[in-house]
Structure 1
Amino acid sequence: MDKYHQMKGFVSSALEYARHKTEKTFNTLQRYLQILGVTSDLSIFDPGSSIAAEFYVSLHELMAGLESRSGLMWSAISTLHHACRNPSARVALIHTYKYTPILTKLLGSHLIQEKRLRVLQLLQELTYGIRISWQEAHLPQLITTLTQWIEGNEKDVVGLALGVLVNLCYKNLPAVYTLMRSVDSKQFLRTILKLQGDNINTRVQVCKLLIILEHISGEIPDSEILNFVNMTYSTLGNAFKSIDVYHLKHVVDFFLDVQTNIHSRSVLLKYEKYVGDTSRLLELVNSSSEPECVSVLFEFLESLVMLQVPGLSSIYPDIVKEAMNWIPTNMACTKSLQLICTVAMETRKQACGSQEALWLRVLEQLDHGLSVSCRILE
């Protein structure tokens, strides 16, 4: 059977439903969505195929005309959430097909908590890395709703609403300006600071939002930046274990952004657990078979080396050893070579002082790794 059979059936049925909204066409669409929402073949959601493109357009048109109480709407939401498990599909859903306005309309309804959570979970997926060049029509309503829910103190809802708000505001000035017009900024900052006693995911989002709004909130306390580093390691570990390349990249990019601020950069150097936390990440790399995840983690490690984190040089040989193992792997070789070169250059600088022994240990790992790589390539 053609693997796109269900998608083709959905597209045809959606056209029929647009012409004749009968119980039969409704049930047919419902059945197709339910099957697509649990399919084990995620490749059907790859955005490069013409049938997948037709499917996303048809689904968008269908959802735009549905009420929040429609069972088809919630089947569509489940299918979209399932499609997001395909990384390429998620990127296309964020940047090409733009379902956020439809989901914003849903949030304006009086939803029970279970449905709020489902919409927010999907919105968090579909706003990760989003780019907003101007104030879009749905933005004020979405941000107003999110801030109201954040201030509403429903713990499960608060964490997800914060996550969506962070995604919207990250590198998106129109969203930041909209947020500042929607709230009393001082009161809102006091509210989110009180949320730091909640679970780790909420604390991560609070830290991110404080950093994004630093120009409004004033200089972030050192303790918040150090807390951010701790949670960065935790989030990287969780994303790496779940093979979530997209979230890994987002965390690393955010960490790199924080380094660009002179004050934040100086505070980052005060974190005391870099060596132990980085060693645990290296253990994950050692047991991994996912080159994309490893490549992103190598980018993070390179940023630490360039940051010249105190004490980290003691594990430079271990970093080089792990990086050397990935040189023969296409998807990780570029980042592994960059990491090795950066470590070698930083170690060579230190060797001019009192770290000659470290330089020799790094050279030893390079020599051994190159010998192994040459044998593999032969």
Structure 2
Amino acid sequence: MKMEATPCVKAVILAATQYRNNKTDTNMVYLQRQLDVLVGITTKRSVLKYFTPHNLLPTECITVIVDILQDQKTKQSLALKCLMLLQNLVADNEIRESLQRLFNLTPVLAGIIKLHDGSVVDSLTVECVDLLQKVTYGYKISYEENYVEDLLLFVIKQIMGQVNELKKPCLGLLANICRDNFAVQSYIRNLDNYKSLCKSVMANLTGEKNDLMLVVFSLSIISSICLNEGIGEKLFQKKNINQTFSMTFSILFRGDSGVTRCYAVDLMMDMLKNENIKQSLSVFDNLGTCIDGVLKLIYSSTAESVVKIFELLLAFCAVEGVRSTICKCILSLTTLEDRGRFMELLSLPVSQITDPLLATVHWASQSVETHDNAPLFALDFLTEFYEEFIYSGFRAKFSLHAQLLMPMLIETLKITLDVNNAAFKKICIKIVKVLQFLSVLCGEDDIKRKICESLDISILTALLDHQYNSNYVALRSIISVHNQDWSEQGVDIVIYSLDLMTKLQRQVPKIDALFSTSLQDSRIVPFLSYGLTSHERNRVQVTLNLIAMGSSLDGFPVILLGDAILACNTQKVEEEAMFTYTRKTSCPQQSNPLHRQQNGSYGFENKENIPMLGQRNRVTSDSGFKSQNETAIESILEKWQTGLEIKETKTTEIIEIYEHKLQSLQTKESQLEDLLEAKEMALKQSDRIIAQNRSRHAQYEAEAHKMRALLKESERASEQYREQLNEITLKKESLQNDFDMTVQENRRLKQIAEEHQQLTAAYTELAEKFESTSKSLLCLKQEHKTLAEMHEMLQRHNESLKHQHDIASEQLSKLQDERKQLSKQLKETETKLEKLSESHKELQSEHKRNEKEREELEEAIDKLRVDMSQAEKLKKQLKHQVASLELVCQKHEADIKEKDTKLEELQTELDKHTQIAALIHSLSSGKSDVSKK
């Protein structure tokens, strides 16, 4: 992958630099050719990982391409090539985020659209809008940017215009910009043509039924802008919400591309932010069938689109009552079998699995390096499912579930941790999620036993030691969240590993010892201090539990932990102070909220659109303050004039004094205005707090009323229970008498049973002894017979061996005579061999010389070929020289062939001599072996 893309990227960078230095047509054509090659390579999905921002060379290539697009003088053909390359790169999520965050691509594309605004059907504009729609997905654009207003006006104009090829990407772009962006939403609501825009967007829901992307884009725009407006309330009210749910689920199931499914999931998640829609979803009639369809998408989706499916399922799990229905649907679709079948199915591709639970386990077992966020979301969904599965009464086939999950979870914990790996942060996140999942599984005793059997203590020690030795928190003790990358996830690994140990320590004594030694180790202090001062709820709770358990130990480092917590708190205070100081120094005039007005028709004060309460008081106070200042200034001017008339002093000094006083008064006035604004904000907050207190007081009174009613009902129930208790006590006394009688009879029967057992035991012992003695007698008789037969066989064999010994001694004497003769012949052949070896060495030296000459000739040929490629223009002049050189080369090649034939002949002679020597050696060795025998 890297070997294929690196030379192409280098060629593009070189061609781009040449084009920037000298913008000629030849340089532009050469750059377009290199871009075509790179576009062809980036169509492969595997190559895109090379273009992540961690690599310097691809980063330089993308910056060069963005610079070319930013240049207004760039020709349309070259800009289209650059956009084609970026279209391929946007398919990767990490590159898409880097294009928005690092390379600032959105304003560049917006500038191209603004430049080509007149030509709507222009292919460059279409490509820019399409790319902008892909780049802005999942990214919040600030309304304060200069290009946003122009871009919104262009997009709205295209949506409200006639049907063309820009309508669909403009709808998607508007859906991206409006999502979770209150400033943009309020700007669109304050437009003069807001109602006509809503009508044109709503027309897409009924006009083109086959185009699902238009429908989902329009629905997402309506949910963002009109959810709390009149149009949105009509569309999302209780009467029509079921139809809206059906429409969204049908888009999700029928969507042929991952983009349609992503927008459908985002639409559903945006709708679930409304409490009324949540309640409507929990009582939706076709919820079970729709969830079945969503679960089937797990094994029929790609790695990118399955992430959105898991996000939707996790959002459903957050709705009250829906998680249990998801659990029921999974159990109805799951057919648990033996363990071998599990392993076979997990080794298959996910498209061949028809079980949603097995498909989820399959996604969770994948690597984050190849499948990005899919394993992480799969683990989150498994955690939610098994939490509901364990704690809600769906207890069935727990051992099979443990066999399904344990190998995958243990293999994840055994993964080799490499800090230099680009995906190391995601690997740490996956380990944390596995540890959390194991702690959830410990809620069931059967699975807990399986975990204790399969989990090795060395895995946990390896995880802890790696974090102690390489984590930023452990090395620096005081951490800075902005300077570290994966240390926060490393802290979670340590904390959740210890949390898992607390749940397994009673079953496994080794884990108990490791847990106590880990809490008494001073290296754990930075991790506990960071967890306790964290902003995350679960991390703080787990850390508090660990500190509570560690405080009972003698060697727990309490003093070090206190110092570390103090250091963390002081550093956070210093960082906040530095942050506020930099904000004040960088933008001192940014005290007023954002004001934007167009044609005097609309305006909004801030992003939250807070109504200005107590405005009349502010006006009166401001007017009074201004009148006081005006009177003071008039009196100063009168004194100044009278002073000039009476006294003869330097007027410039007097003017400077009064200017200084005026400036001081102005500064005081601005300070007082700031104080007034602060008091107004405080009044608003106090009004909100009072309203909240009143609502809470009303809630508390309602709860108290309910508690009183419950108390009365409980007292009535307790009186009934007392009467029932009296009846039960009477029954108990009568039953106790019956029980005493039965106990006495039971004792007699036990004595008789014990005597019977003793007699039966003695009888069985005697019978076993008799059977064993009879069996041993039979075995001894058989052994006696076999030994006698073996004795006769050995005598016969001894006689035959004596006869063979006599024959072998006679043959030995004959072979010794033959050996002496062969040794003489061997000496003669050795002398001949020495002569042949000397001749062989001479031939080898000649062969080496020939090889050197051949190499020199080959080098000369290579040089000539290079000269030929570089001198194409001088080809006609050098034809005669090349022909003469080729004749010389042919002569040399003929000489080399003759020498090769001579070498082959000599080699054949050598082989013959070696064969003769080998025969002689084998004969001599055979005779020597015979003599030894």
TM-score range, shorter chain: 0.7 to 0.9
1:171 is matched with which residue? Answer: 180
Matched, 1:374 2:406: yes
For 1:170-221, what per-residue CA distance to the aligned partner results, in whole angstroms no more than 9, with x for missing partners?
1123332443455522222122111212221111111111111123455252
Q: Deviations over 1:36-85 (max 9, x none)?
A: 22213323322221112111211111111145752111111111101112
Determine the structure 2 residue equivalent to 1:277: 290
Change in 2 beyond 3 A, CA 1:114/1:17:
closer
Q: Distance in 2 between matches of 1:133 and 1:343?
A: 38
* 2:59 matched residue in structure 1: 53
Tell which deviates more after alignment, 293-302 or 96-105.
293-302
Of the candidates 21, 34, 49, which is equivalent to residue 32 of structure 1? 34
The structure-2 alpha-carbon separation of the partners of 1:100 and 1:87, relative to structure 1 and needing over 3 Å to count, comes to: same
Match of 1:355 in 2: none
Aligned partner of residue 53 in structure 2, secondary structure: coil
* Partner amino acid, structure 2, of 1:281: V
Query: Structure 1 CA distance, aligned partners of 2:254 and 2:367?
Result: 24
Q: Secondary structure at the match of 2:205?
A: helix
* Distance of aligned partners of 1:329 and 1:63 in 2 relative to their CA distance in 1, 3 Å threshold: closer
| Change over 3 Å in CA distance of 1:112–1:224 after alignment to 2 | farther
Deviation, 1:224, is 6.0
CA offset digits 1:124-169 (Å, max 9, x no partner): 1111112223421111111111111101131542222110001011
Q: Partner of 2:384 in structure 1?
A: 342
Q: Which residue of 2 aligns with 1:103?
A: 109
1:125 aligns with 2:98: no
Aligned runs of 1:359-370 on 2, under 5 Å? 359-360=394-395, 363-364=396-397, 366-370=398-402
> 2:295–2:330: 8 Å Cα contact kept in structure 1?
no
Distance 1:248 1:330, change over 3 A: farther
Is the counterpart of residue 10 in structure 1 residue 12 in structure 2? Answer: yes
Cα distance, 1:121 vs structure 2: 1.6
Query: Aligned-residue CA RMSD in angstroms?
Result: 3.2
Is the 1:143–1:178 Cα contact (8 Å) retained in structure 2? no
One-letter amino acid of the counterpart of residue 152, structure 1 = G
Change (3 A) 1:150 1:134: closer
Is 1:221 equivalent to 2:269 in the alignment?
no
**Alpha carbons 1:42, 1:83 under 8 Å: kept:** yes
Q: Find out whether 1:76 has 2:76 as its counterpart.
A: no
Residue ranges of structure 2 left out of the alignment (5+ in a row): 334-355, 369-373, 412-453, 455-933
C-alpha distance in 1, partners of 2:391/2:405?
26
Q: Which residue of 2 aligns with 1:162?
A: 171
- Supply the distance in 1 between the matched residues of 2:60 and 2:279 (Cα, whole angstroms): 50
Q: CA deviation at 1:271?
A: 3.8
When the two structures are aligned, how many residues end up with a matched partner? 364
Instruction: Pick closer, same or farther for the CA change 1:323–1:151 going to 2, 3 Å.
Output: same
Maintained 8 Å contact 1:37/1:79: yes
2:312 counterpart of 1:300: yes
Cα separation, partners in 2 of 1:235 and 1:66, compared to 1, 3 Å: farther
Counterpart AA for 2:168: G
Question: Is 1:85 aligned to 2:127, yes or no?
Answer: no
- One-letter amino acid of the structure 1 residue matched with residue 99 of structure 2: L
Change (3 A) 1:86 1:311: closer
Q: 1:61 to 1:224 in 2, by over 3 A?
A: farther
Q: Distance in 1 between matches of 2:31 and 2:357?
A: 54
Please state if 1:201 is matched with 2:238.
no
Structure 2 residue matching 1:272: 3-state secondary structure: coil
Q: 2:279 aligns with which of 257, 266, 277?
A: 266
What is the deviation of 1:314?
3.6
Matched residue SS, 2:27: helix
The 1-side partners of 2:178 and 2:134 are apart by 15
Give the Cα–Cα distance (whole angstroms) in 2 for the partners of residues 46 and 79 of structure 1.
Answer: 14
Cα–Cα, structure 1 residues 299 and 50, in superposed 2: closer, same or farther, change >3 Å? same
Deviation track 1:208-255 (CA, whole Å, cap 9, x = no partner) reads: 11111123455252366445534544555577x76x5x8866654553
Kindly provide the CA deviation profile for residues 330-360 of structure 1, in whole angstroms up to 9, marking residues without a partner as x.
5555544543443455467764xxxxxxx24
Amino acid at match of 1:163: G
For the Cα contact (< 8 Å) 1:204–1:231, is it kept in 2? Answer: no
Matched residue SS, 2:197: helix
Q: Quick one: which amino acid aligns to residue 144 of structure 2?
A: Q
Does the CA-based 8 Å contact 1:120-1:161 persist in structure 2?
A: yes
Sequence identity of aligned pairs in percent? 19
Q: CA deviation at 1:285?
A: 2.3
Structure 1-normalised TM-score?
A: 0.82
Q: Secondary structure at the match of 1:285?
A: coil
Aligned to 2:268: 255
Over 3 Å counting, the alpha-carbon distance change for 1:226 and 1:19 in structure 2 is: farther
Q: CA deviation at 1:325?
A: 5.0
TM-aligned CA deviation for residue 303 of structure 1: 2.6
CA separation of 1:29/1:334 partners in 2, compared to 1, >3 Å: closer, same or farther? closer
Question: Residue 150 of structure 2 aligns to a residue in which SS?
Answer: helix
SS of equivalent to 1:122: helix
Q: Distance in 1 between matches of 2:201 and 2:300?
A: 37
3-state DSSP class of the match of 1:37?
helix
Q: Structure 1's 152 and 287: CA in aligned 2 closer, same or farther, altered over 3 A?
A: closer
Say if 2:142 is the partner of 1:142: no
Structure 1 letter corresponding to 2:403: S
TM-score, normalization by structure 2: 0.36
Give ranges in structure 1 of 5+ residues lacking alignment.
Answer: 352-358
Which of 219-228 and 298-307 deviates more?
219-228
Partners of 1:9 and 1:32 within 8 A in 2: yes
What SS does the corresponding residue of 1:215 show, helix, strand or coil?
A: coil
Contact 2:217 2:263 in 1 (8 A): no
- Is contact 1:324–1:369 with CA below 8 Å preserved after alignment? no
- 8 Å Cα contact 2:307/2:377 also seen in 1: yes
SS at match of 1:260: coil
**1:74 is aligned with what amino acid?**
L
- In 2: Cα distance, 1:167 partner to 1:186 partner: 20
State the alpha-carbon separation in 1 of the partners of residues 375 and 105 from structure 2. Answer: 36
- Residue 315 (1) aligns with residue 357 (2): no
Distance 1:315 1:134, change over 3 A: same
Mapped partners of 1:168, 1:228: distance in 2: 22
- The higher radius of gyration belongs to 2
Rate the CA distance shift 1:200–1:101 in 2: closer, same or farther, 3 A: same
Distance 1:286 1:2 in 2: 32
